[in-house]
C-alpha cells in the first residue's frame, strides 16, 4: 500500500513569493492534516481537512491556506513568504477517529 | 488546550539495553496517544498508539505505558539496536480523536554500539 506522498521534496523561494505544496494521502484516508516543523518550535499543527472541508485550524496567519479535493488529495498554499516560513512542511493522512496519522516525508521549504 | 512535554531532549543507551522515553501531557480530556519515530530526512513514522481505556499496549519490541493519574506516558524499547537511533515524539489527542494531535518536542535517542 502506497504511503503519503508529498511533492516537491525541496523548494527554494524568495521573500514575498507564494508557494503551493501538494499531498497525496494513503488510499481510503479522508482526513489530511498539515504541520510545520522547525527546530525551535517542533511540530505545529496548521490545519486539517476531512471530506473537502476544513475541520480544524491551528494558530497560523491567514497567509497559510489549504484545500482538499474530492479524491482526498490536498494542497497548502503560503502567500507573501517570509524568512520565518523556512521549515519542513509535513502532511499526514488518517481514517479519522481513533486511528493514527501517517506522515509523508515532507517538503523542505527554504526562503532566501 | 493541551500541551505535551518530554522529560529529556536526549538519551544515550548501549546497544542491547532497554530504552525508556517519557512524556507528560496536561489535558485530562486527552484520550488518544501516539508515539512516532523520526529519522533524519524523513517524516515521523508511526510506532504504537494507545487509548485512554488502556494502561499498557505492546508491539514488536516496544511497549507503551499510560498513567492517567499523573498524565504520564512512556515508550519502552527492548534490546535497543543501532537502527533505533532517531528522534521520538509523543502526541496527544483530546476529545474523541477528531481534534488536532498535539506533539511534544521530541527525544533524540542515540544508540552506542
* Per-residue pLDDT reduced to its tens digit, B64-82: 999 999 999 999 999 999 9
* Per-residue pLDDT reduced to its tens digit, A70-87: 999 999 999 999 999 999
Amino acid B11: pLDDT: 94
Amino acid B97: pLDDT: 59
Residue A61 C-beta-side C-alpha neighbours within 13 Å? 8
- Considering only CA atoms, which of B29, B10, B19 is closest in space to residue B96? B29
Confidence at A40, pLDDT banded by 50, 70, 90 = confident
Residues A91-101, mean pLDDT to the nearest whole number = 91
- Chain A interface residues (partner B, CB cutoff 8 A): 4, 6, 33, 35, 42-43, 45, 48, 55-56, 58, 90, 92, 96-106
Amino acid B2: pLDDT: 80
Residue B2 C-beta-side C-alpha neighbours within 13 Å? 27
- Chain B interface residues (partner A, CB cutoff 8 A): 32, 34, 36, 41-46, 49, 51, 89, 91, 96-106
The closest CB to that of A101, out of B41, B96, B101, belongs to: B101
Query: What's the mean per-residue pLDDT of chain A?
Result: 95
Please give the residue of chain B at the shortest CA–CA distance from A46: B100
* Per-residue pLDDT reduced to its tens digit, A53-65: 999 999 999 999 9
Provide the CA A28 distance to its chain's centre, in angstroms.
Answer: 18
Q: Say whether pLDDT at A1 is over 90.
A: no
Question: Do A95 and A30 contact (CB within 8 A), yes or no?
Answer: yes
Residue B17 C-beta-side C-alpha neighbours within 13 Å? 13
Q: Are strands B102-103 and B86-94 parallel, antiparallel or unpaired?
A: antiparallel
Amino acid B96: pLDDT: 62
Cell 479535493 locates to A69
Evaluate the CA torsion angle A89, B28, B95, B47 in order and state its sign: positive
Query: What's the mean per-residue pLDDT of chain B?
Result: 92
Q: Say whether pLDDT at B52 is over 90.
A: yes
Question: Which letter does DSSP use for residue A25 in this model?
Answer: P
**DSSP H or E run through B103:** strand B102-103
Please give the residue of chain B at the shortest CA–CA distance from A10: B41
Q: Where are the beta strands (DSSP E) in chain A?
A: 5-7, 10-13, 19-24, 31-38, 42-50, 53-57, 64-68, 74-78, 87-94, 102-103, 107-111
**Portion of chain A with pLDDT greater than 90, in percent:** 91
Buried b / exposed e across A29-68, counting CB within 10 Å, b at 16+?
bebbbbbbbeeeebbbbbbbbbeeeebbeeebeeebbbeb
Amino acid A20: pLDDT: 98
Amino acid at each position: 500500500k502506497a504511503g503519503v506522498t508529498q511533492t516537491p521534496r525541496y523548494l527554494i523561494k524568495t521573500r514575498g513569493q507564494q508557494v503551493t505544496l501538494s499531498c497525496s494521502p494513503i488510499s481510503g484516508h479522508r482526513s489530511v492534516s498539515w504541520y510545520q516543523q522547525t527546530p525551535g518550535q517542533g511540530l505545529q499543527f496548521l490545519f486539517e481537512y476531512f471530506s473537502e472541508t476544513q475541520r480544524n485550524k491551528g494558530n497560523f496567519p491567514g497567509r497559510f491556506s489549504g484545500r482538499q479535493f474530492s479524491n482526498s488529495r490536498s494542497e497548502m498554499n503560503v502567500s507573501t513568504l517570509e524568512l520565518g516560513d523556512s521549515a519542513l512542511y509535513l502532511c499526514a493522512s488518517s481514517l479519522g477517529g481513533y486511528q493514527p496519522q501517517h506522515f509523508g516525508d515532507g517538503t523542505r521549504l527554504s526562503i532566501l | 488546550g493541551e500541551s505535551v512535554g518530554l522529560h529529556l531532549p536526549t538519551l544515550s543507551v548501549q546497544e542491547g539495553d532497554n530504552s525508556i522515553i517519557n512524556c507528560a501531557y496536561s489535558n485530562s480530556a486527552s484520550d488518544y496517544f501516539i508515539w512516532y519515530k523520526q529519522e533524519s530526512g524523513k517524516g515521523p513514522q508511526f510506532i504504537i498508539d494507545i487509548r485512554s481505556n488502556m494502561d499498557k499496549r505492546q508491539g514488536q519490541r516496544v511497549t507503551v505505558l499510560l498513567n492517567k493519574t499523573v498524565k504520564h506516558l512512556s515508550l519502552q524499547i527492548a534490546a535497543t539496536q543501532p537502527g533505533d537511533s532517531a528522534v521520538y515524539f509523543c502526541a496527544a489527542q483530546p476529545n474523541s480523536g477528531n481534534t488536532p494531535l498535539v506533539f511534544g518536542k521530541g527525544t533524540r535517542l542515540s544508540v552506542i554500539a
